Structure 1
Amino acid sequence: MPTGTRPFAGFEWLLAGRYLRTRRREGFVSVIAGFSFLGIMLGVMTLIVVMSVMNGFRKELLDKIVGVNGHIFVTPIDRPLDDYEMVANRLKQIPGVKFAIPLVEGQALASSQYGNGGVLVRGVREADLKSVPYIGGNIRRGTLDGFDTSGGIAIGSRLAAALSVTAGDSIQLFSPKGASTPFGTAPRIKTYPIQAVFEIGMTEFDASFVFMPLTESQAYFGRDSDVSVIEVFVDNPDRTQSVRDAIEADAPRPLVLSDWRQRNRSFFSALEVERNVMFIILTLIVLVAALNIVSGLIMLVKDKTEDIAIMRTMGASRGTVLRVFLITGAAIGVVGTLAGLLLGVLFANNIKSILAFLNWILGADLWNPTVRFLSDIPSVIDWREVATVVVMALVLSLLATLYPAWKAARLDPVQALRMG
C-alpha cells in the first residue's frame, strides 16, 4: 500500500468514504454519525435564523422608535419654549439635522361608545407630521391634507380598532388638567373628528398615539403659545453625538438636550443581552453535536482496529491513518455546517412566508401582534455573523476529530493484530 507523502491522497478519501457508509456491523456508529450531522445542521440553521430575527428586531424597533420619536430632544431651562419657531429654524441650519419639530405632549383618555383607552396626545403642525415617514407615509384611512385647520385628529390603527371607529367618526378626549374652579380642577372634555388613521407597524404606538393640530393642542392643554419639546431628526441616528455637540455650541438660549440612546438605553441593552445569551445557548447545540462526533469516531476506531493494523503492516504511515479519520470526522462537520448554512439562509429569507404557511396549517396566529412590539416578524441577515457561525461550527467539528484520529494513528499494529 502506498504511504503517500502528499496530504489527503485519493485512497484516504476513498477509505474515509467507505467508513461513513452504513454497514450492518457498523450500524450503531452510522447512527451516531447521522445524529452528529443533524445536530450540527440544526445548530447552525437555528443560530442563523435566531440571530437574523434578533437583528431584524433591533433594526425594526430602532427604525420605528427613533423614526417616530426623533433622535435629539430639546427642552427649555429658563422659560417656556414660546419662541419655538425661531429655535426650530435655528436648529434646522445645523449640519446633519434633517428637520426639527415643535411638539406639545400630554396624556388623555380616548373614549367612544364602544370603548376607551389611555393615549398620548401630540400636538404637531401638518407639514411636520407629513415629514415623518412612519406617519405621513403610512396613512391607511382618511388624509392629513388640511390637518392644521380641520380641527380633527389622527389616531393609530390599533386604537381605532379598540374604539371601533374609523376616519370620519368622532371620539372624546378627557384630560385631567382642565379649568380651575372653586371646587377644584375640572377635567377637560372635548369631541374630535377622526381625520386620518395611520399604521406605524409597532403595536404600542398604533394603540396609544393621537396627533392633534399644534394650535389646538396648545388650547386643549392650556399652554400659553409654547411647546413641550422640540424633536430633532438627524441624518444618521448612530452619530447623534456630533450633532448634539453642534447644537450645544450654537444654541440660541439655554437648553437641555437628551437623545434616543439615553431614553431607550435600558430597552436596547436588554435586547442586546438577550441576543448574546441566545447565541451562547444555541452554540451549545453545535458543541453537543461536535461531542457526538468524538464518541462516534472513537467507536469507529475501536471497530476498525484490525483494519488499522493491516494498513500499518502494509506500509501506511501514522499520518495516513490520522488523515483518514480526520477526513471521516470532518466530513460530518463540514457537510452538516453547509447544510445548516443553506437551510438557515433560506429560512431567514422566507420567514414571513413560512410563518403564514404554518398559520394556515395550524389554524392559529403564531405571531399575535397584540402581545408583541411589532406587527410582523422581522429578519435581517448579517453576513459577518453568518460567517462567524460557519467558522465556529467548522472549528468545533475539526477539533472534535483530533483526539479520535490521534488515537487511531497511535495504535500499535502488532498488539492490535494480537488482540484481534
Structure 2
Amino acid sequence: MFQAFEAFIGLRYLRAKRRNHFISFISLTSIIGLALGIMVMITVLSVMNGFKKELTDRILGMASHATVMARSGDLQDWQDAEKRVQGQPGIVGAAPYIDGEGMLMKGKNVKGTLIRGVLPDEEVEVSDVANNIESGSLQDLVAGEFNIVLGADLARVLGVGVGDKVTLVAPKTNVTPAGVLPRLKQFNVVGLFRIGMYEFDSSLALIQMDDAAKLFRMDGVTGLRLKTDDIMRAPQISRSIVAQLPGEYWVVDWTQRHSNFFKALQTEKMVMFVILAMIIAVAAFNIVSTMVMVVTDKQTDIAVLRTLGASPRSIMRIFIIQGTVTGLIGMLSGLVGGVWLALNVETIVPAIEQLFQVQFLSPEVYYISELPSDLQWADVIWICSVAFVMNILATIYPALRAAKTQPVEALRYE
C-alpha cells in the first residue's frame, strides 16, 4: 500500500518548479499527446458508431427485423400465422410479402430488378418506405391496377418518372401456339422512393401483393416480415414466436441476412481501435522518457531520502505516483475533450464547412452527407482503461531505475 509521505513527495515533484525547463516541456508534450490520443479515439469511434447506426437504420428501414417462412414452398395460411404473430410480445408489426425477380424495360433501357409485392396498409408497419417517398404515394398500389413504385436510382437508369409506364418481364413463361414466350406486363409508375442505400434504391420495385401473386402465379406468399420493439433482441424474439406457431415454419433475422456487412463494420472498428491505440502508446513512451529524465534530475533527492530511511520500494512508489498522476491529467483532459467533441461533432462540422465554404461529404457522391456521431460509454471506458494501463506500465521502468539508485554514488560529487 502507498504511504502518505510517498504520495506527498510524488505530488510535490509533480507541481514543484523544475530547474530543467526542458524536462517540463517534455512532460507537457506527454500530457498533450495522451490527451489528443484519447480525444481522437473517442471522436473517431463515436463517428464510426454513428455511421453504423445510420446504415443499420437505413437497411432495416427496408429489410425486416425478421422473416417467417414456410419450410417448404409458399406460405399458404399466412392470414392465420399473421394473427398469431401479431399477438405475441415484442412484435410491433407484421406484413405479408411476395418476392420475385424480373426485368424492367423502358424503350432501350433494361434493368434487372427485385420485385416485392406488398400490402400498402400493412407495409408501413414493418418498413419506412412510406416515409421516404420522393414523389407519388405508396397508397396508389391498388390491386388490379398494376401500379409500381420504383427506387429513385432505378427510375433514373430507366429514364422514367411518376406517370410513365414500364414493362416488366417475369421469369414465368406463357405457352402459346407460337411457342414459349416470356410473360410481359405493363405497369404504371405511381411513386419513387429513396432510402439512401444503393442496394435498394437501384434494384427494388414495389407492386401490390395481389398483382404480384398473379404475375408470379403464386397461391400463397413468400413469408411474413416482422418488426420487433428491439432490433438487438430480434433473433430471440422471432425464434421464440416461431417455436409457438403450429406447422412447419422457419425464421431468418436481420443479423443473418446482413451478417457479412455488420461483421465487416465490427472488424473495421476493431482495427481502427488498435491503430488509434498506437497514438496513446507513443504518448506513453514520451512519459517513459520524461520520467527517466526526472529520475536523473532527482538523483540527489533520491539519495537523501534513502539516507533518511526510505526503502527502494518507497522510492519506486514515489515515481509511480508522479507518472500516474501525470497520465491521469492527460487522460481526463482527453476524456473531457473527446466526449465534448463527440457530442457536438454534428454541429461543429457544418460550422467548419460553412466557414471555409467546403463540403466534406457531398450528397452527389455519398449517400450519407452528414457526419453522424453516436457516443457509447462502453467505448469510452475501454479507451480510458487502455490509456490507464499503458500509463502505469510506462512508469515501471523509470521507477525501478530510481529504486536502484545508490546513495553513495549519487552524493559522491555533491
SS at match of 1:90: helix
Return the TM-score normalized by structure 1.
Answer: 0.82
> Given the alignment, which residue of 253, 256, 262 partners 1:259?
253
1:340 is aligned to 2:338: no
CA distance in 2, matches of 1:417, 1:16: 23
Contact 1:153 1:210 in 2 (8 A): yes
SS at match of 2:333: helix
- Residue number in structure 2 paired with 1:301: 295
Deviation at 1:127, TM superposition (A): 0.7
1:54 is aligned to 2:52: no
Amino acid at match of 2:244: A
CA distance in 2, matches of 1:370, 1:184: 47
Deviation at 1:333, TM superposition (A): 1.4
SS at match of 1:148: coil
SS at match of 2:128: helix
Tell me: CA distance 1:33–1:164, structure 2 relative to 1, closer, same or farther (3 Å): farther
Q: How many residues align?
A: 409
- Residue number in structure 1 paired with 2:88: 94
Tell me: CA distance 1:56–1:308, structure 2 relative to 1, closer, same or farther (3 Å): same
- Residue number in structure 2 paired with 1:74: 68
Contact 2:319 2:399 in 1 (8 A): yes
- Residue number in structure 2 paired with 1:244: 239
- Residue number in structure 2 paired with 1:218: 213
Query: What are the superposed Cα offsets for residues 296-354 of structure 1, whole Å, 9 maximum, x if unpaired?
Result: 21122223324544566688776775565334423431122122212222332233344
CA distance in 1, matches of 2:199, 2:242: 31
CA distance in 2, matches of 1:261, 1:332: 44
1:131-280 aligned at under 5 Å gives the runs 131-149=125-143, 151-163=146-158, 165-181=160-176, 185-221=180-216, 223-237=217-231, 238-251=233-246, 253-280=247-274
- Residue number in structure 2 paired with 1:18: 16
Bigger mean CA deviation after superposition, 176-185 or 223-232: 176-185
1:407 is aligned to 2:401: yes
Deviation at 1:111, TM superposition (A): 4.7
Deviation at 1:45, TM superposition (A): 1.9
Query: What are the superposed Cα offsets for residues 372-415 of structure 1, whole Å, 9 maximum, x if unpaired?
Result: 7x564432211122122213212321331233134224422331
1:8 is aligned to 2:7: yes
Bigger mean CA deviation after superposition, 227-236 or 113-122: 113-122
SS at match of 2:195: coil
CA distance in 2, matches of 1:254, 1:226: 15
CA distance in 2, matches of 1:326, 1:214: 71
CA distance in 2, matches of 1:38, 1:171: 62
Amino acid at match of 1:69: A
SS at match of 2:50: helix
> Given the alignment, which residue of 323, 336, 339 partners 1:329?
323
Contact 1:325 1:405 in 2 (8 A): yes
Query: What is the root-mean-square deviation of aligned Cα atoms in Å?
Result: 3.4
Name structure 2 gaps, 5 residues minimum.
none
Deviation at 1:369, TM superposition (A): 7.7
Bigger mean CA deviation after superposition, 121-130 or 101-110: 101-110
Tell me: CA distance 1:320–1:78, structure 2 relative to 1, closer, same or farther (3 Å): closer
> Given the alignment, which residue of 123, 127, 143 partners 2:121?
127
CA distance in 2, matches of 1:312, 1:105: 82
SS at match of 1:107: strand
CA distance in 2, matches of 1:182, 1:287: 78
CA distance in 1, matches of 2:275, 2:33: 14
Tell me: CA distance 1:67–1:108, structure 2 relative to 1, closer, same or farther (3 Å): same
Deviation at 1:125, TM superposition (A): 0.7
SS at match of 2:96: strand
Amino acid at match of 1:229: G
Deviation at 1:126, TM superposition (A): 1.4
- Residue number in structure 2 paired with 1:395: 389
CA distance in 1, matches of 2:300, 2:30: 25
Contact 2:148 2:205 in 1 (8 A): yes
Amino acid at match of 1:203: Y
Deviation at 1:102, TM superposition (A): 1.5
Tell me: CA distance 1:327–1:81, structure 2 relative to 1, closer, same or farther (3 Å): closer
Return the TM-score normalized by structure 2.
Answer: 0.83
Query: What are the superposed Cα offsets for residues 352-381 of structure 1, whole Å, 9 maximum, x if unpaired?
Result: 344445655473544668567x56443221
CA distance in 2, matches of 1:12, 1:180: 92
- Residue number in structure 1 paired with 2:279: 285
Bigger mean CA deviation after superposition, 179-188 or 39-48: 179-188
Deviation at 1:44, TM superposition (A): 1.3
Tell me: CA distance 1:225–1:296, structure 2 relative to 1, closer, same or farther (3 Å): same
CA distance in 1, matches of 2:176, 2:28: 80
Tell me: CA distance 1:82–1:337, structure 2 relative to 1, closer, same or farther (3 Å): same
Amino acid at match of 2:7: F
Deviation at 1:37, TM superposition (A): 2.4
Contact 1:154 1:196 in 2 (8 A): yes
CA distance in 2, matches of 1:407, 1:170: 83
Amino acid at match of 1:247: V
CA distance in 2, matches of 1:354, 1:137: 28
Amino acid at match of 1:240: P
SS at match of 1:80: coil
